[in-house]
Structure 1
Amino acid sequence: MNRADRIIAAVKLQIGNRSKPFTSEEAYEIVMSLQQPAVFWSMASDWPALQWTVENLSWILDEKPIRFRLGSKKTETAFPLFENHCSFLEASMMQFLSWSQGLSDAVLGPFSSYPYSEFWAYADYKYIAMLFEDKKEHFKDVVWSDFGFPGRDGKDSTLWIGTEGANTPCHLDCYGCNLVLQVQGRPCQ
């Protein structure tokens, strides 16, 4: 069993244990030494950002306009639908929530032209510092110091929101490391 497999096995043993399985120093060492993706169970179980469901964000962000990318659920190609082949619109989180829940056209705003049964939507790479520019108290809802990055919080992060069918193709970012906190939904298989 290699080091990454041992780490993942150790993390999985902690499922159900609400305490953090690693200190921030241990988590940092693991993150910086991994050569493949890994899942850390329970490391963020006490983060306030776990309350950032679409419903909660609709209330927090109120009518703030957010740019969404839309794509057809019925594509004729096996390849990902990149940005240059998508439609874009600006809408509030409440309009997005109403659309994704199938509510009446009166509250959908710009989404009313896109039937939910035919389209997915994705608000990708939204800088939390810009989204919450007038609600800075939410920066501390993200606690990257738990992973050994002291002084980093939501201000240094991005937020990704999408419906079923929205995705980011597998890729490699050439800067540092990526840490992802999934708040709602499930990862693609």
Structure 2
Amino acid sequence: MADPASTKPFGPKETQRILRHLQTPTVFTNMAAGWPALLWTAERLSHCLRDKVLRFRLGRKEEKNTPLFETQCSYVEARLEDFLSWTRDQTGPLHVGPFCEYPNSDYWAYADYKYIAMLFEDRPSMFEEVKWSDFGFEGRDGRASTLWVGTGGANTPCHLDSYGFNLVLQVQGR
């Protein structure tokens, strides 16, 4: 079997050179080959987080041509296990628990900007499963990263962040 590092299209130095000259959002394929974080599923994360409570943002699933800003959303405090239970209950009666007022047929939801360092403070090995050094950020791992988990339809309006680089590792979904 080929070494995952040998399948990466760019080395760390070349990736840094590319990043410094980009003017538009760009997708790098195969740059995370071999990262343990690629095995993260919502179920695995739920098991790791156990009883930790996250704040979920909810919005209505309706076709609109205007962004839904944070101040216009509803919020629920819940465990990831509660969220997963809510997402699986597609046809049953209203869910019991933190999401009970929000039928998943009518709402999308996501937990955003959850710092991995805080979520997994009792499991520091999780930090090492994210390897930003492959992008030329030596010594950077998941400790300085955030986790986002959401349903289909969850979104953030297109925007520009005015700081450094914003790298996203998408493990599931689209």
Structure (1 or 2) with the greater helix fraction: 1
> Within 1, Cα distance between the matches of 2:48 and 2:155?
25
TM-score of the aligned structures, taking structure 2 as reference length: 0.90
**Is 2:95–2:103's contact at 8 Å kept on the other side of the alignment?**
no
Amino acid at match of 1:39: V
Aligned to 1:155: 143
Q: Deviations over 1:45-100 (max 9, x none)?
A: 2111111211111111112100001111136x421111111111111111111111
Give the one of 117, 137, 152 matched to 1:164. Answer: 152
Q: Deviations over 1:124-181 (max 9, x none)?
A: 1111111111111100010000000001110111111111111111111000011110
Check 1:133–1:34 CA distance in 2 against 1; reply closer, same or farther (3 A cut). same
> Within 2, Cα distance between the matches of 1:158 and 1:45?
20
When the two chains are superposed, the root-mean-square deviation of aligned CA atoms in Å is 1.9
Query: What secondary structure is seen at the aligned counterpart in 1 of 2:98?
Result: helix
Alpha-carbon distance, 1:105 to partner = 7.0
Check 1:45–1:89 CA distance in 2 against 1; reply closer, same or farther (3 A cut). same
Give the one of 89, 94, 98 matched to 2:76. Answer: 89
Query: What secondary structure is seen at the aligned counterpart in 1 of 2:137?
Result: coil
> Within 2, Cα distance between the matches of 1:156 and 1:24?
18
Alpha-carbon distance, 1:18 to partner = 7.1
Contiguous gaps of at least 5 residues in structure 1 = 1-16
**Is 2:36–2:130's contact at 8 Å kept on the other side of the alignment?**
yes
When the two structures are aligned, how many residues end up with a matched partner?
A: 169
Q: Deviations over 1:13-69 (max 9, x none)?
A: xxxx97111111111111121111111111102111111211111111112100001
> Within 1, Cα distance between the matches of 2:157 and 2:36?
28
Aligned to 1:113: 101
Moved over 6 A (4+): 103-107
Check 1:74–1:106 CA distance in 2 against 1; reply closer, same or farther (3 A cut). closer
Give the one of 110, 132, 142 matched to 1:144. Answer: 132
Contiguous gaps of at least 5 residues in structure 2 = none
Query: What secondary structure is seen at the aligned counterpart in 2 of 1:90?
Result: strand
Aligned to 1:182: 170
